[in-house]
Structure 1
Amino acid sequence: MNYTTKEPATLSPAPSASVLDEHAKGWRKKLGQSLLVLLIIFVASWHVGLLNFNTLANGVPAIGTLIGESLPPDFTNVASWVSPLIDTLAMSIAGTAIAVTLSVPLAFLAARNTSPHPVVFQVTRTLLNGLRSVPELIMGIIFVAAVGFGALPGVLALGLHSIGMVGKFFAEAIEHVDEAPVEAADAAGATRLQVLYHAVLPQVLPQFADVSIYRWEYNFRASTVMGMVGAGGIGFELMGSLRIMQYQEVSAILIVILLMVTVVDSLSGRLRKKFK
């Protein structure tokens, strides 16, 4: 009877020294980057006085006094805030609608895979960067000077500023589409517009909807600030109460704004679930 001898199982070779060295080098690089970020944060905090604990401690009593003067909230004029709240809500909806409507074509021009020419790509990207770099508050001041007081300058400011951000997010979503449907549409002889409509747009619609709803949520918060520069809405009422130092009324308006923001957040969350 023949017995076959089994050779002992060979052990997998230990990691080479070069692999360990590369791992240690990568770890040291990440540690150095983290320390650099922490250093930048420390320098920035020191520059703006965030680390000046004496100043912060001296400001605590003043904050306590201000809070004391704001309590209890005064809701005597709550009925007169309904119309400004409606203006604020309408301002956010109209501004978001303007932004989404204009951002869709601009996004296709600003995406690398759908832009018709590199020059068009660069010009559109520069336009989006320019709109995004000007704060909506500055735009609000400009439009108030141009068209007068009211909700219209707020709508224009929110809409134009939002184009810069919404268009950027839309363009990035387009750049990350799956190329397989696009190639299939091209192979079937579809025109350029047909490819965009049938192969690209269906893939990015959920992202477009999510960004649009989030931007509406943001614009509602921003529209409360727009009223402080004369663009109407509940922010105008808030600024009026601050000017005459009616802090109890200010706290009441802030509570109303908080409740409205909570409602808008809840509604936007439900809308986002429907589009997923």
Structure 2
Amino acid sequence: MKPVTLPQRPALQWSTIALLTGILLLVIASFVSLPLKLHEFLGAEAIRTSIEFLRGFSPPELAPNFLKKIGIATFETLAMSAIGTLIAAFFGILIGLPASGRFGATARLATRSVLNVLRSIPELVWASVLLIAAGLGPFAGTLALALHTIGVLGRLFAEAFENCSPLPEETLRTNGVNPVAAFFYSTLPQCSPQMMSYTLYRWENNIRAAAILGVVGAGGLGQMLKYHLSLFQMQQAASVIVAMLLMVAVVDAVSFLLRRMMTR
């Protein structure tokens, strides 16, 4: 009986050691430089005042007229996130194609630069800028979500196009198929499950972002939350927060089920 030879443990590269050392030093420097006042945060006075503040949120406001307003604001938030994500998915595909290098290095560099700018600016900043042009309300919030998400999905779609096998499309084009038709019949079906997963994930994120954009006047539940908190109407604010939690939980569950259906 031959002895079993165990595989040799791969040797650590100097680059890996340098990277781990740099991360460790960065973590240590972060703790040293940041003024973390844990003794004040966990002190008896901080805990007492926090409990008193949280007591003001109970019981939540359950008046029928107020719940109706919450329902309208919830639908508005969902509509903002859904429309913003759909717009971003459409333009993400259009910009992701040249960003994947299909039209040359110059087009790749230009479109990736545009995508970097779009996703580098947070949704709140986009909303603050667009509120000047579009005015208060959900329209500015929808555009803000769309612009930021175009940058994210465009980059992800470009990576998906680059990682797809080029052989099916090349085979069709060699046999005389139009390049556009070859792309739609070969490359796009390969990438579509991954692209749909990316889109659903960004929709989940945009639900949360849409709820926050109301803070700057972009409508939805966030605007209601800001209004009631600014007036110290804690019970009404508690109802809005509960509606946000329920909405996010439902959307997460729906997105999970859709991703499960696509992977079967």
Q: TM-score, normalised by structure 2?
A: 0.89
CA distance in structure 2 between the aligned counterparts of 1:161 and 1:67, rounded to whole angstroms: 34
Counterpart of 1:108 (choices 92, 97, 106) is: 97
Q: 1:71 to 1:110 in 2, by over 3 A?
A: same
Counterpart in 2 of 1:41? 27
The answer for the alignment partner of 1:93 in structure 2 is: 82
Point out the more displaced range, 140-149 or 30-39. 30-39
Tell me, in whole angstroms, the C-alpha distance in 1 between the residues paired with 2:205 and 2:79.
13
**Structure 1 portions without partners, runs of 5+:** 1-8
In 1, Cα distance between equivalents of 2:158 and 2:183: 13
The number of residues matched between the two structures is: 259
Matched, 1:56 2:41: yes
2:134 corresponds to 1:138: no
Give the counterpart of 1:82 among 54, 71, 74. 71
Shift of the 198–38 alpha-carbon distance from structure 1 to 2, 3 Å rule, reads same
- Separation in structure 1 between the aligned mates of residue 29 and residue 208 of structure 2, nearest angstrom: 31
Higher Rg: 1
**Which of 232, 257, 264 is residue 270 of structure 1 equivalent to?**
257
Aligned to 1:218: 205
* Alpha-carbon distance between aligned partners in 1 of 2:6 and 2:131, rounded to the nearest angstrom: 72
The one-letter code matched in structure 1 to 2:254 is L
152 and 13 in structure 1: CA distance in 2 versus 1, 3 angstrom threshold:
closer
| Deviation at residue 74 of structure 1 after TM alignment | 2.5
- Alpha-carbon distance, 1:135 to partner: 0.4
Query: Which ranges of structure 2 fall in alignment gaps of 5 or more residues?
Result: none
Which residue identity is paired with 2:74? L
For 2:171, the equivalent position in structure 1 comes to 184
Deviation, 1:139, is 0.7
* Secondary structure, counterpart of 1:70 in structure 2: coil
User: Using a 3 Å threshold, how does the CA distance of structure 1 residues 167 and 139 change in structure 2: closer, same or farther?
Assistant: same
Q: CA RMSD in A?
A: 2.5
Once the 2 structures are TM-superposed, how far is the Cα of residue 272 of structure 1 from its aligned partner?
A: 1.4
Which range moved further: 179-188 or 216-225?
179-188
Residue matched to 2:224: 237
Distance 1:182 1:14, change over 3 A: closer
What residue number does 1:6 align with? none
Secondary structure of 1:275's counterpart equals helix
**1: CA distance between counterparts of 2:146 and 2:96?**
15
After superposition, the Cα gap between the structure-2 partners of 1:189 and 1:268, relative to the gap in structure 1 and judged at 3 Å, is: same
**Which is worse superposed, 179-188 or 231-240?**
179-188
Which letter maps to 1:100? A
